[in-house]
Structure 1
């Protein structure tokens, strides 16, 4: 897309009527728009057709666009992604859904050895413009095979882009941008906040998206550029780097503690908005990283290294990380596994006391 077209689309989104949607509705709308806008867009996966997906993210799309554009596949993740790579090389823009991120591992060879390398190994003659959508993370008591957060695996692979929205507004705009991108994109959707930003404060009910400011989603086409972070709120005392569900958890904890924190929603892990990170840490002098995935070799380790390398002389204290534990995912104890009010609060106190 040209810069002029993107600017026009952004301007149109600013003036379009606004509605409140949850994240599932926003994703469904993005897919609907791209199917109508581009005849090369194909949606495929387990139960995405007639049934509309296990979380209903593709509901109604087959009826509107036909069985050749939205169709079910066998239960074969390596086959789903392998076929999508071939479709992309042929000139289509497939959007395969992997029903849960935990199921993506059989397709790693196709993603790493084929999709990520196709542009380079063909000297630009072929591309793999596929967007792999998948619900990820915990929050629904799905157990060890329905709750993993494997984003760090994909950020390590050169040639793949990794996107994680935290609001309905961003989910729609980022998904449209991902589908239009000429490189393969892993689009992880935090299922814990599909219907509302559940923060983990147990004395408060789940807040439905339709009562939340971030649920305002413009009608029609708009895109949010990959690689551009969002400042959730400005602050001076410390910088919080996070993404997905943890954006809402971190914001709730900082608000409850009255901390003047600057919270940055990374939106995309690759490409990463390092300029926004540097600017914030240089201003605040302190940095905390929060993510749900396990600690060792999690994406927070890369963030910590980058902040230390680039902002060392501005830091007033060591970088703090609050993450999941280095254990197999605990089904019955998942709320203790998540970074929550207690652990994030303790990290804030430690960071501000140094």
Structure 2
């Protein structure tokens, strides 16, 4: 029971860190275009992060992404030690990338940590490590490391071209004023997508831990039953990510808002709208994607409408390396944490 409580506390700490690590996603462009001050922007984003709970629960009616995360590893390889080690690795990598201002994926950090710890646990079984992973859940997640930013990039490119064509004869000053107002809407949509996508990932981890604990007590529990019986878990998950967003993440704001390409209000609307649509689509099909990757791709798509040289490809390549390395590095860290946790618990 003590280990379960520790896992739940660490999961919500990770959720909070995820909030301030990923705050830049929904506020970077709105701050860089001076539509809102940094403080106003984080309050705006945090409100819609939390509002996403009510949309997921009462309008969408389910938490598909949470279910996907809870089932990335086959149930026989899930233990409380595995989940704890995965969380410790995810928190460590998130803090490292936040410190250096690298917009890596909190989602893939969590998934990599979960997989790595489970593989380390399976090493002591007769089954090979390859049997640990639920490939039906994991393969789409890996594919969308590349698909999500690509979708965001293409959609942002198309939206920007359409807007420029439709408003080419408008008064520039009036158009800029309107697009700054529209950025409030587009950033709100992106924050809804971010909250819904990322808070559910922590729900999935806590769900896996509670389901394991209940099953060990002889009470079989499915993920949907867990959501109903432990209604405070999804509520707290969305609340923590909102609070984390209010803490900001200014180093990453700088990278997302200015270093990839300079962004105007019009381009901010395009990037945020494209990112939000991508997040809503992936939530609909239950694939957890990186909000960071999605918006990065959208910003690149916006920059490419001006000219390819408007995108700082050196920065973009560095981001790509961070994206590729996140899952394997998190997995290796989780393996190490698993062995440490096993020594401490004697299991």
TM-score scaled by length of structure 2: 0.27
TM-score scaled by length of structure 1: 0.26
Which has more strand, going by share of residues?
1
Which has more helix, going by share of residues?
2
Higher relative contact order structure (alpha carbons within 8 Å, sequence separation ≥ 6):
2
